[in-house]
Chain A
């Protein structure tokens, strides 16, 4: 069975500092994709970044990067230079390549302090 674990229900970070949101996953499949989504207080789900299980380099998208450690089955999201607008819920998700289902973690609520 597939499972995503986000162990940090809530986090605080000072504006302009970097923050790491943890995500570990459990699967016996070798082919999968990992995704991070942002959900601001307005409620919409915003796709941030993707990492494939065979990607040799960590994914980066602007201020977002993914610290992918395959052997440890972790896919942590790093946000550099935090902004007030980064305050939101963040969800980690996994998709197996040969299946249509996505598996979501329980989320981490990030608060950026001015």
Chain B
């Protein structure tokens, strides 16, 4: 099925470790996003990429870096994981701006625990 694929689905890290969350979409979308969702809360935007070659900070970028590897792939890196980064991470994609009524399509999420 077409959609957004995130890997891994689950991960446990120790404080200070680094890791990269991978995201790929096969819908030929220009825009991609990374969100975090803490228990019982809404989505907070970490970073987004309007198109290949561009990235912009969202609401909560500190402690994260991103790479838009190509049109399909957008990765999120935690350089030195902290317990405050324990969360569920969602990747999403959408068509670019310009009167678009296209929604975001989401991956299934990565559940990340940092001890």
Q: Do they bind each other?
A: yes
Of the listed stretches B20-28, B75-83, B99-107, chain A binds: B99-107
Interface size class of B (residues with CB under 8 A): 20 to 34
Chain A residue at smallest Cβ distance from B49: A100
B50 within 8 Å of A (CB atoms) = yes
B90 within 8 Å of A (CB atoms) = yes
Residue interface bits A90-109, CB-to-B below 8 A is 1, else 0: 01010111111110111100
A8 within 8 Å of B (CB atoms) = no
Interface size class of A (residues with CB under 8 A): 20 to 34
Interface residues of A in 7-62 (CB under 8 A from B): 31, 33, 35, 37, 43-45, 47, 50, 52
Nearest Cβ on chain A to B59's Cβ, whole angstroms: 9
B-chain residues with CB within 8 Å of residue A93 when the two chains form the complex: 104
Pair B48/A106 contact, Cβ less than 8 Å: no
Pair B103/A50 contact, Cβ less than 8 Å: yes
A-chain residues with CB within 8 Å of residue B101 when the two chains form the complex: 33, 50, 52
Pair B50/A100 contact, Cβ less than 8 Å: yes
B-chain residues with CB within 8 Å of residue A50 when the two chains form the complex: 101, 103
CA distance A91 to B99 in the complex (A): 22
B52 within 8 Å of A (CB atoms) = no
B-chain residues with CB within 8 Å of residue A91 when the two chains form the complex: 42-43
A residues with CB within 8 A of B: 31, 33, 35, 37, 43-45, 47, 50, 52, 91, 93, 95-102, 104-107
